Amino acid sequence: MTTARILLIDDDPLVTEMYTLALTRAGHEVMSAGDGPRGLELAAGYQPDLIFLDVKMPRMDGIAVLSELSQDAMTRTIPVVMLSNYDDRKLVRQAESLGAKQYLVKAGTNPSDLAAVVEQWHEAPPPGGAAAR
Partner 1 sequence: MTDPHEEGQGRLADLLGNSDAKARVRALAALLESATFSVVVFKTGPEITVDYLNRAASITAAVAPEAAVGLPVTQVFPTVDVSLLQKLLAGSRPGAPQAIKGLLATGSAYHVDSLRLDAQRVLVIGEEMGDEVSSRERLEALIESTDAIWRSSDLHTMAPLIVEQARRLLVDIDVGLCTQTADHPESLRVVAAHSDWLEVGLQIPTAGTFIGQAADTGLSVESTTAPEVSAMGPRLRGAGINTIRAVPITAGEPLPDGRRALGVLEFGKRAATPFTDAQRRLMDEFGKLVGLAAHRAELLADARESARRLELSLDVAIALASSASPRAIIELLLDRALVSVDADRATISRLEGQEFVVEATRLRSGELNWTGLRYPIESLERQPLVKRALETRSAVIGGQLNVTDAFEEVQQQLAKMRSTVTLPLLANHEPAGLLVVSRTTEAAFTATDVSTLQLMGNAAILALRTARLLEELRAANEVKSRFLNLAAHELRTPITLLRGYASMLSDGTIDAPNQMLAVKIIKDKSTELSRLTDELLLAVRIESGSLNVEVSDFDIVATVRAAVAELARDGVLIGSEVRLIGAENAMSARGDAQHVRTIIENLLRNAILYSDQAAEVQVRFAKNRDQIEVAIEDHGRGIPEAERDGLFQRFARVEDGGAMSTGGAGLGLYIARWLARAVGGELELIRSEPGQGSLFQLRLPSAPAPALNARPARSRKAAVITQV
Name the site residues for partner 1 (rule: CB under 8 A). 11-15, 18-19, 21-22, 25, 34-35, 56, 58-59, 85-86, 88, 105-107, 110-112
Mode of pairing for the β-strands spanning 50-53 and 102-105: unpaired
Q: How far is the CB of 58 from partner 1 (least distance, A)?
A: 5
Q: Which residues in 10-85 belong to E strands, given as ranges?
A: 29-33, 50-53, 80-84
Choose between 59 and 133: whose C-beta lies nearer to partner 1. Answer: 59
Instruction: Report how far apart, in Å, the C-alpha atoms of 5 and of each of 17, 40, 80, 89 are.
Output: 16, 15, 13, 30
Nearer to partner 1, 71 or 112 (CB): 112
Q: Which of 1/105 has CB closer to partner 1?
A: 105
Are the CB atoms for 81 and 104 separated by under 8 Å? yes
Shortest distance, CB of residue 53 to partner 1, whole angstroms?
15
Query: Do residues 125 and 118 lie in contact, with contact meaning Cβ atoms separated by under 8 Å?
Result: no
In the complex with partner 1, which residue's Cβ is closer, 35 or 96?
35
Measured at the CA of 28, the angle between CA 120 and CA 63, to 5 degrees, comes to: 60
C-alpha–C-alpha distance, residues 16 and 21, integer Å: 8
Closest separation in Å from C-beta 86 to partner 1: 5
